[in-house]
Chains A and B, each alone.
Chain A
Amino acid sequence: DAGITQSPRHKVTETGTPVTLRCHQTENHRYMYWYRQDPGHGLRLIHYSYGVKDTDKGEVSDGYSVSRSKTEDFLLTLESATSSQTSVYFCAITPGRQSYEQYFGPGTRLTVT
């Protein structure tokens, strides 16, 4: 299994509060991704990183920001959580170098009340 962890695994928060989710990898992979999974939508890309301090938006980036100050950590922040951000969030990694397979973390279930 790829060495990828997510924390917390579960979180309940109130509307309007900031939330930060952490993804940590031990594989030294260059690329890291944040997805959200919702019924009927599969997995949708929020943001991704192609190196330390190098990030870009995905298809559903509104309301989210990310940071990557170290190769091993990729943080996803909801500046002011809304009920529409209730979802399961997955982090994924890939080395790139012509390898398209992404390896996923166990997920974080976030509930915004």
Chain B
Amino acid sequence: DQQVKQNSPSLSVQEGRISILNCDYTNSMFDYFLWYKKYPAEGPTFLISISSIKDKNEDGRFTVFLNKSAKHLSLHIVPSQPGDSAVYFCAASSSSSDYKLSFGAGTTVTVRA
């Protein structure tokens, strides 16, 4: 049973606008959350993370929000750029798990010019 879910397989956004990607989790033991970006024929690359003791983390154009009570996190990309077109994976881990990550199925983002 998938413990991390990304219910939107795809997202299309115009260049310059905001992209919002959503992720839900079911395991209440998760206490660290990450977003990865993946281009075709490459490995995923780490984008941004957040600990469960925070509700927001920002890094340049990327902001991750965490709502623990709803078991929900989101990634905001502002403004969206053509180079942001990629697959984005949400991942989660617990401090007792040998740093193992559980991944969502991914959301394909397409930024239109």
Q: Which residues of A contact B (CB under 8 A)?
A: 31, 33, 35, 40-45, 48, 50, 56, 58, 90, 92, 94, 96, 99-107
Chain A residue with the shortest CB-CB distance to B101: A102
Q: Which residues of B contact A (CB under 8 A)?
A: 2, 4, 6, 32, 34, 36, 41-46, 49, 89, 93, 98-106
Question: B44 and A101: CB pair below 8 A?
Answer: no
Task: Please measure, in the bound complex, the distance between the C-alpha atom of A42 and the C-alpha atom of B104, giving whole angstroms.
Answer: 6
Question: B45 and A104: CB pair below 8 A?
Answer: yes
Task: Please measure, in the bound complex, the distance between the C-alpha atom of A106 and the C-alpha atom of B39, giving whole angstroms.
Answer: 10
Give the 5 A-B CB pairs with smallest separation, nearest first.
A104-B43, A42-B103, A43-B103, A42-B105, A100-B32
Question: A100 and B49: CB pair below 8 A?
Answer: yes
| B-chain residues with CB within 8 Å of residue A107 when the two chains form the complex | 41-43
Knowing that A42-B89, A43-B89 touch, tell me 14 more A-B residue pairs with CB under 8 angstroms: A33-B101, A40-B105, A42-B103, A42-B105, A50-B98, A96-B98, A100-B49, A100-B93, A101-B34, A102-B101, A104-B36, A105-B43, A106-B43, A107-B43
| B-chain residues with CB within 8 Å of residue A99 when the two chains form the complex | 99
User: When the two chains form the complex, which single residue of B43, B46, B101, B106 contacts A45, counting CB atoms closer than 8 Å?
Assistant: B101
Chain A residue with the shortest CB-CB distance to B31: A100
